[in-house]
Structure 1
Amino acid sequence: MSRAKVLLVEDDWEWINGLKMYFAGESVFEIVSCVDNREACMAALEQISVDVVLMDIILGDANSSGLDATLDIAHKYPSVKVIMVSSLDNDDEVFNEAFLSGAYDFVYKDEFEQIPAVIAGAMNDQGTKYGPRLRKLVFDKKKKLLTPYDIVLLKLTVEGKTQQEIADMNSVSLSAVKKHVGRILDKFDWQRSTRELADKCHKWGLLE
């Protein structure tokens, strides 16, 4: 079997160089490109064909992360397997969101020697030790956070409606919509824009 073509998304270039040196000549895979942010990752996928993306969870951009990029890949390039790589070992929410966003598997940086075996499993479509069951558990947990009106509001946000337009459509005040949006953001402990949360919930399938 030919070697898997891997795109590495990581903002620590010292770690990148170390990984490339360690796996030079590896029979299972070859790293064909390295980028350090979400936008560069998506641009690279438009230019080159890869089988696997090794994705660091924490990237340098405060407004974007490996989780966001993973969700983008799952929707635009569903045949590409994303394997999360991180030094985090005590953040269950991040771990769970990785799988909800479409990650195939997860490797800790201090266990990087496992990468060839995980990539081989991805190429053979082997089930992971986490698999769809964990994804469903996380999906169900987040789905329960949303009321029917939350879903309507987020759908309208995805469609590009402003909060004033949403207020007019529902015959309520703008302040009422703002308060409701605030409650939704609090449920998800969300610090970024409402549109970004709405888009993410849409891609997760929570608005169906």
Structure 2
Amino acid sequence: MTAIGSPIRVAIVDDQALVRAGFRMVLEAEAGIEVVGEAVDGRTAIALAGAREIDVMLMDVRMPGVDGIAATEAIVASARPTRVIVLTTFDLDEYAFAALRAGASGFLLKDVRPAELLAAIRTVHTGDAALAPRVIRRMIDLFAADLPARDGDRAGTTTDELDTLTPREREVLVAVAQGRSNSEIAETFFLSESTVKTHVGRLLQKLAARDRVQLVIFAYEHDLLPGTSSPGG
């Protein structure tokens, strides 16, 4: 983590020079963010993460040689504190979702607005997740059915798990599933961010979820969002 007052150090990974230049232009115009390197594929991204102090890496998925999935997995598994935001052109890109499973902290589309990109970088830098709301449903449609079954009868464990949640925890779970950050949830429910983090931590523990992505899947799979139904349901 960068020292208080220091700029967030960002690296850009994409095999297209024009894309890298576009992101660099947006980032360098923003106070508090410093572009510290670029890479053209996963192999050079891994090397860059090992050689430089990088807080957040913007990672393309489809690149020649070592792709963004393998690079994300290697970088996250290393001792370096670099967090990865996956960027892709395709909102149905299975490879991008696989990168989330590999440990990426965020998933955005390349047509993201500059303000949203900058907000996502800051969100991920604080340890939160940044998931584009419009692709969350796509992720659930593609992968919820492939989640490993939990031990015991699913219907029974579902009831037990939901019964352990307080009304506030259910509200926070729904907000997480809608792609809101901790700061947005805090503003919605008039809570402090530390209180929201406590609620999220309890949700992860009670639902035996690894991360926020699994909380999203749980919420959609169990019809907890208004106007939605479970994938395949």
- In 2, the alpha carbon distance for the partners of 1:43 and 1:32 equals 13
Q: Retained in 1: the 8 A contact 2:72–2:84?
A: yes
Cα deviations by residue, 1:148-198 (Å, 9 ceiling, x for unpaired): xxxxxxxxxxxxxxxxxxxxxxxxxxxxxxxxxxxxxxxxxxxxxxxxxxx
Q: Which residue of 2 aligns with 1:72?
A: 74
Q: How does 1:25-40 map to 2 (within 5 A)?
A: 25-40=29-44
Q: How does 1:1-208 map to 2 (within 5 A)?
A: 1-61=5-65, 64-77=66-79, 79-91=81-93, 93-113=94-114, 114-129=116-131, 141=146
Q: Retained in 2: the 8 A contact 1:55–1:82?
A: yes
Question: How many pairs are equivalent?
Answer: 137
- In 2, the alpha carbon distance for the partners of 1:129 and 1:110 equals 14
Q: Retained in 2: the 8 A contact 1:100–1:139?
A: no
Task: Give the 3 Å change call, closer, same or farther, for CA 17–96 of structure 1 in structure 2.
Answer: closer
Cα deviations by residue, 1:72-106 (Å, 9 ceiling, x for unpaired): 11111462110001111223x32431211001001
- In 2, the alpha carbon distance for the partners of 1:95 and 1:37 equals 15
Taking structure 1 as the reference length, the TM-score comes to: 0.58
Taking structure 2 as the reference length, the TM-score comes to: 0.52
Task: Give the 3 Å change call, closer, same or farther, for CA 128–24 of structure 1 in structure 2.
Answer: closer
Larger Rg: 1
Which gives a bigger RCO, structure 1 or 2 (Cα 8 Å, sep 6+)?
A: 1
Compute the displacement of 1:142 (Å): 6.2
Q: Please tell me the residue identity of whatever aligns with 2:90.
A: L
What's the RMSD between the two structures over aligned residues?
A: 2.7
- In 2, the alpha carbon distance for the partners of 1:127 and 1:46 equals 23
- In 2, the alpha carbon distance for the partners of 1:33 and 1:139 equals 36
Q: Retained in 2: the 8 A contact 1:7–1:54?
A: yes
Q: Please tell me the residue identity of whatever aligns with 1:2.
A: S
Compute the displacement of 1:138 (Å): 5.8
Instruction: Using the aligned pairs only, state the percent identity.
Output: 24
DSSP-derived class of the 2:28 partner: coil
Q: Please tell me the residue identity of whatever aligns with 1:116.
A: L
DSSP-derived class of the 1:26 partner: coil
Q: Retained in 2: the 8 A contact 1:28–1:119?
A: no
Compute the displacement of 1:68 (Å): 0.8
- In 2, the alpha carbon distance for the partners of 1:101 and 1:117 equals 22
- In structure 2, stretches of 5+ residues that fail to align are 133-138, 150-233
Q: Which residue of 2 aligns with 1:175?
A: none
Task: Give the 3 Å change call, closer, same or farther, for CA 128–110 of structure 1 in structure 2.
Answer: closer
Q: Please tell me the residue identity of whatever aligns with 1:55.
A: M
- In 1, the alpha carbon distance for the partners of 2:125 and 2:111 equals 23
Task: Give the 3 Å change call, closer, same or farther, for CA 90–138 of structure 1 in structure 2.
Answer: closer
- In structure 1, stretches of 5+ residues that fail to align are 145-208
Q: Retained in 1: the 8 A contact 2:106–2:130?
A: yes
21-30 or 98-107, larger mean C-alpha shift: 21-30
